[in-house]
């Protein structure tokens, strides 16, 4: 599966060299940002309040991981400057093609797609090991596929799109090498300690 992902990423990069000749223009970026504001009008402060609520009442592990990402974005992915979309399709009117967990505007005026996955690294047994490996492969497949579809729909060169993966499994950290995916992780233990400290420091 890892070889397939590598091949797929390399094929996309090869296609990029023969596709559109134009970098992402200010107009193209403006159109996409306008689309984002239309389907997700909440302010950055509104989104922060939502994620702080998740930290206070962590009813979903995946959402808690996403809250950690949003509230620590500058440490994890330093170029990410503004959240444009959360759990929305970056491809207008085509939600069946998949939602992206996070789409950020970077400080370099590029777009950064991030997929997250809470992977249970504490469970034991052969079945759990197979499930973990499936989740590792799936999250990379998702972000690479979204990047390709995003590029085709919005007519944006792949070089103008960055992508990343964020999970609770440090085993994925090396997998982004060679497929142009930035990989970051936080352990389940550290995630829980952060949640407790964040609640204490912010009186949640």
Q: What is the DSSP letter of 173?
A: T
Distance separating alpha carbons of residues 80 and 102, to the nearest angstrom:
10
List CB contacts of 159: < 8 A, sequence separation 6 or more: 16, 23
Over residues 94-109, the pLDDT tens digits come to 655 568 899 999 999 8
User: For residue 73, how many other CB atoms are within 10 A of its CB?
Assistant: 20
Span 145-182, pLDDT tens digits: 999 888 888 888 888 899 999 999 988 877 777 788 99
Chain Cα centroid distance, residue 200: 28
pTM of the model as a whole: 0.82
The answer to whether residue 195 scores a pLDDT higher than 80 is yes
The kind and range of the H/E element at 117 are strand 111-117
Element (H, E) at 142: helix 126-154
For residue 19, what pLDDT is reported? 36
CA atoms within 13 A on the CB side of 154: 29
Predicted local confidence at residue 193, as pLDDT:
96
User: Do 111 and 160 meet the contact criterion of CB atoms below 8 Å apart?
Assistant: yes
Question: Which stretch of DSSP H or E encloses residue 166?
Answer: strand 161-167
- What percentage of the chain has pLDDT greater than the value 70? 83
Whole-number percent of the chain with pLDDT over 90: 43
Query: Model confidence at 187, in pLDDT bands (50, 70, 90)?
Result: very high
Structure tokens at 16: 């990029």
d(CA 16, CA 109): 19
**Rounded Cα–Cα distance for residues 141 and 43 (Å):** 30
């Amino acid at each position: 599966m890892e070889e397939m992902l590598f091949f797929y990423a390399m094929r996309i990069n090869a296609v990029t060299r023969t596709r559109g000749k134009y970098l992402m223009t200010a107009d193209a970026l403006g159109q996409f940002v306008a689309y984002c504001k239309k389907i997700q009008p909440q302010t950055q402060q509104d989104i922060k309040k939502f994620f702080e609520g998740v930290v206070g009442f962590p009813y979903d592990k995946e959402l808690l991981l996403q809250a950690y990402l949003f509230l620590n974005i500058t440490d994890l992915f330093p170029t990410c400057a503004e959240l444009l979309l959360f759990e929305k399709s970056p491809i207008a009117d085509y939600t069946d093609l998949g939602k992206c967990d996070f789409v950020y505007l970077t400080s370099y005026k590029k777009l950064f797609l991030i997929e997250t996955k809470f992977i249970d690294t504490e469970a034991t047994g052969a079945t759990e090991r197979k499930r973990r490996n499936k989740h590792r492969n799936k999250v990379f497949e998702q972000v690479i596929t979204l990047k390709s579809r995003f590029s085709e729909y919005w007519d944006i060169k792949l070089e103008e799109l960055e992508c990343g993966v964020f999970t609770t499994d440090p085993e994925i950290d090396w997998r982004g090498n060679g497929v142009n995916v930035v990989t970051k992780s936080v352990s389940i233990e550290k995630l829980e300690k952060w949640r407790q400290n964040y609640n204490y420091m912010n009186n949640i």
